[in-house]
Structure 1
């Protein structure tokens, strides 16, 4: 029988970091199970290759949401990473911590040591900031490299100048704790290549004798010995022979918001009514498993550029693409080494708010309507907006006891009235930012949604028919105090009512951060490593 001190399910953003930290102690043994293959796909390492990996079932879970009236009856692809590095190997590489108030809210909900001051040291421990930043707030020595945009387009410069002209300040470091403003995104790219969590933390540790990494190992059940998690059962293919690996100390779920909830449910941990429906024995009833699901829902406006303006659309074809490949191969700035979003704007949907409630993005390129990352045939530019902290909640539920069946993912996008109001405010802000005098010399016309779309009802209809996920899935194993009947884990990330089972990924977030979720997921894993190792927690105070 295989037996280790710790068995980690998932080698993604959180699992990679956690495995590296735990295996630093030679007195303990660690086994990591990854459902996908090794990260040998070359498009993983080329930043612009995300366009290819998002459509590749070989390295991604090709999940989609349930159709609703507020998505125009559409299913929306909500792809997640399924390879070493998980979604950090296929995401947009943006490093964005959010606002201090996000974490302070978690603490106010009763989660000890999760305020901003308590979490800042763990953000710092997960990053190696290369560029401008306050050393008291930014990490410099370890973790993922966080670099600045080095490929600058005149459209981006004009867009930023227009925002400044509107009264939105230029922000030199939105990860400093003061988020408001406009500027270029920071990203996990170094020397022209993506640096995933796996590459930053775990890859260099694989020679440790106390660390075992197994790929193509899809967890099919958590093995329970009464109320204690004793191990994990996994298989490599549908109908294949199951293998068991035992945990002397803990089983740690780092499978991501969708897969962590599903694995718990098919293992008999979750809402009794759902488990009975699935024909799964109820081993531990927890009403909140799979509930509290949230995601950022974005709408994007597209502008046709004037003839002669060279955008990503033209640079990505023919001889011009060949030139960009040559530049990338020789270590120069290139479109191959950029993130999908170039410029950020953190601002307010309505005047009078104390803090931004919107994230807006700008890219000097555009995609065809209804087609995922297929560039337009004409020169174009795109700006998108989404609400920082949506109140609309949904769920993730297993469809059957077979882990090869995709789960039911229902985000209930824009079901909350306030979310719809903020979304409309965001779309109106986009239109203002795309209509500034500074950008006007480059703009021919608005193609999406088009100038005929003006009223609130028309804007919402556009959002319902064209909006999409930002792949920021959280909340299905919510952290909370004993008084929260829907809490799945406590503030040390231990599953309530069970021994030896912990969750360490974005599913524990009790509410959405005002940011892309990657940076905070890394912070969660870094803090969890101290919980597990019994170390004294750090604090910025």
Structure 2
């Protein structure tokens, strides 16, 4: 393996794979992609329903924990992140959501020129091959396969009928002209199989593009600098340390927790904080690791006897066995389920300009991220707050990259977040108690005794955790706490960029995987244009 490449990409997740695939389209550019996890093309990743085996455990999963959260009764939260090629797009629920148009206009208003919705829409469209919609909002020529679910689960109809019964609007496309309403999710699947960022952008080119190198089991230790210029990285593979040099750029796509961790351990961060751990300072950048934002999430659980729902029973086991055979024959049925089959975006107050809560209807009982199992069939419904006011941080625990960072989302620290979640709780419960859904309920294990607003606050504090959408720890911007500029270059340094969910200045209203891929698409254009300009200047 050569030791010098044009671009060294650290992290083979949603953004990193998309970036590697796009940059290596130019045969004159050499790209190496370093991933700490393993191969992302196993049956475990490809089979949609296998997400239930990965999220609760350390299979392809970093399985981070937060520090105890004071507003959640001192509980530690759980933060699953993909440790595999494809990153979290290889273990997530495959829901394809872009967020609200206004989210990106807000980014632009913060000083991030060319990140408004009209500027990012072309990159969303360029990334996708949408099998359901062919209109001004969607693309058909991208590598990321987007389709409707193939489960044929009747509970999708029950969910929509319940929304109609209580007057919630129905929305066929959350990524189109408007977001508000209840509907069935589009998913990153093709022919009933998962389409991760790795499947879309890298796997088709392995062994075919001589300029693309992918290394798994590569745990990057630090960024190498010549003064203020990033010139390469050091990584460990097994017991061996290796050094890779970058002729053009080092690009961090290690994710919202590990990109800031790697920056700080390489001497980029708040000088005072780094001094406490005796980390040699390369560049003072106080915003590194700050601005952590995540969607707080509460889950309603309901027991049922319907075998169209996942669960444990003799009758259900026979049904599941038939569905496994059906999946092998047709790539249809329960095994293609992403579990979170339906959802919606609603306003807790009519005067709000945009929906502020997201619902996700799950065809199984989900308790503590599926780490606690129940001996019954059932269903669940998440309610998440889209734009919480609470802001957390990521910091170093010690000087070792192999030690997980300190993750503190500060859930519900801002009192408004709790009150908004109370209203979201009421709206979600109303939907679940509509006759079309309520007729299937045989038991309510956690919320049956919740009656008053104080009861709701208590159950929220007892059971809220993440919706798996952390962002913002290397935020893009032009203020003193920004880590990267609007071109995603690290402020004050050369040859170093961050391209992943950590650059989002504010949390969007929805799932973050599609956005992470869009960021990589847009970053590719910026990198290519800068390279062309540099070559033009050099030739003159």
State the TM-score, normalizing by the size of structure 2.
Answer: 0.94
**Residues 150 and 192 in structure 2, CA contact (< 8 A), matched pair in contact too:** no
Instruction: Call closer, same or farther: CA 1:400–1:350 in 2, change over 3 Å.
Output: same
**Residues 298 and 469 in structure 1, CA contact (< 8 A), matched pair in contact too:** yes
**Residues 69 and 77 in structure 2, CA contact (< 8 A), matched pair in contact too:** no
**Residues 181 and 345 in structure 1, CA contact (< 8 A), matched pair in contact too:** yes
Shift of 1:339: 0.9
Instruction: Call closer, same or farther: CA 1:353–1:265 in 2, change over 3 Å.
Output: same
Which residue is 1:506 aligned to? 501
Deviates more, 1:59-68 or 1:252-261: 59-68
Which residue is 1:425 aligned to? 423
Which residue is 2:218 aligned to? 217
Matches within 5 A, 1:278-427: 278-305=277-304, 307=305, 310-314=308-312, 318-367=317-366, 369-370=367-368, 372=370, 374-427=372-425
**Residues 51 and 373 in structure 1, CA contact (< 8 A), matched pair in contact too:** no
Q: Any idea what SS the aligned residue of 1:77 has?
A: strand
Which residue is 2:126 aligned to? 125
**Residues 7 and 247 in structure 1, CA contact (< 8 A), matched pair in contact too:** yes
**Residues 134 and 176 in structure 1, CA contact (< 8 A), matched pair in contact too:** no
Query: Any idea what the Cα deviations from partners look like across 1:155-186, whole Å, max 9, x if unmatched?
Result: 33222112122222111111113101111000
Query: Any idea what the Cα deviations from partners look like across 1:169-220, whole Å, max 9, x if unmatched?
Result: 1111111131011110000111121111011111112221111111111110
Shift of 1:468: 1.8
Matches within 5 A, 1:140-539: 140-206=140-206, 207-237=208-238, 240-305=239-304, 307=305, 310-314=308-312, 318-367=317-366, 369-370=367-368, 372=370, 374-450=372-448, 452-481=449-478, 484-534=479-529
Q: Any idea what SS the aligned residue of 2:439 has?
A: helix
Deviates more, 1:184-193 or 1:459-468: 459-468
Specify every segment of 5 or more residues in structure 1 that has no aligned partner in the other structure, as ranges: none
**Residues 193 and 331 in structure 2, CA contact (< 8 A), matched pair in contact too:** no
Q: Could you tell me how far apart the structure 1 residues matched to 2:248 and 2:368 are? A: 48
Shift of 1:319: 2.0
Q: Any idea what SS the aligned residue of 1:524 has?
A: helix
Deviates more, 1:490-499 or 1:357-366: 357-366
Shift of 1:40: 4.6
Q: Could you tell me how far apart the structure 1 residues matched to 2:369 and 2:515 are? A: 30
Q: Any idea what SS the aligned residue of 1:393 has?
A: coil
Instruction: Call closer, same or farther: CA 1:36–1:446 in 2, change over 3 Å.
Output: same
**Residues 13 and 254 in structure 2, CA contact (< 8 A), matched pair in contact too:** yes
Instruction: Call closer, same or farther: CA 1:536–1:157 in 2, change over 3 Å.
Output: farther
Q: Could you tell me how far apart the structure 1 residues matched to 2:134 and 2:181 are? A: 17
Q: Could you tell me how far apart the structure 2 residues matched to 1:205 and 1:497 are? A: 35
**Residues 40 and 198 in structure 2, CA contact (< 8 A), matched pair in contact too:** no
Matches within 5 A, 1:63-102: 63-102=64-103
Q: Any idea what SS the aligned residue of 2:434 has?
A: coil
**Residues 41 and 199 in structure 2, CA contact (< 8 A), matched pair in contact too:** no
Matched residues, number: 529
Q: Could you tell me how far apart the structure 2 residues matched to 1:76 and 1:141 are? A: 39
Q: Could you tell me how far apart the structure 2 residues matched to 1:137 and 1:335 are? A: 29
**Residues 424 and 456 in structure 1, CA contact (< 8 A), matched pair in contact too:** yes
Instruction: Call closer, same or farther: CA 1:191–1:387 in 2, change over 3 Å.
Output: same
Q: Any idea what SS the aligned residue of 2:445 has?
A: strand
Query: Any idea what the Cα deviations from partners look like across 1:301-339, whole Å, max 9, x if unmatched?
Result: 11233x556522258953222111101101142211111
Shift of 1:43: 1.1
Specify every segment of 5 or more residues in structure 2 that has no aligned partner in the other structure, as ranges: 533-540
Q: Any idea what SS the aligned residue of 2:358 has?
A: strand
Query: Any idea what the Cα deviations from partners look like across 1:239-298, whole Å, max 9, x if unmatched?
Result: x33211000110000010001010001000001122112220011010000000011111
Q: Could you tell me how far apart the structure 1 residues matched to 2:409 and 2:290 are? A: 10
**Residues 223 and 229 in structure 1, CA contact (< 8 A), matched pair in contact too:** yes
Q: Could you tell me how far apart the structure 2 residues matched to 1:469 and 1:507 are? A: 16
Q: Could you tell me how far apart the structure 2 residues matched to 1:342 and 1:318 are? A: 21
Q: Any idea what SS the aligned residue of 1:214 has?
A: strand
Instruction: Call closer, same or farther: CA 1:159–1:499 in 2, change over 3 Å.
Output: same
Q: Any idea what SS the aligned residue of 1:477 has?
A: coil
**Residues 479 and 493 in structure 1, CA contact (< 8 A), matched pair in contact too:** yes
**Residues 306 and 440 in structure 2, CA contact (< 8 A), matched pair in contact too:** no
Which residue is 2:537 aligned to? none
Q: Could you tell me how far apart the structure 1 residues matched to 2:81 and 2:266 are? A: 22
Shift of 1:28: 1.4
Instruction: Call closer, same or farther: CA 1:535–1:141 in 2, change over 3 Å.
Output: farther
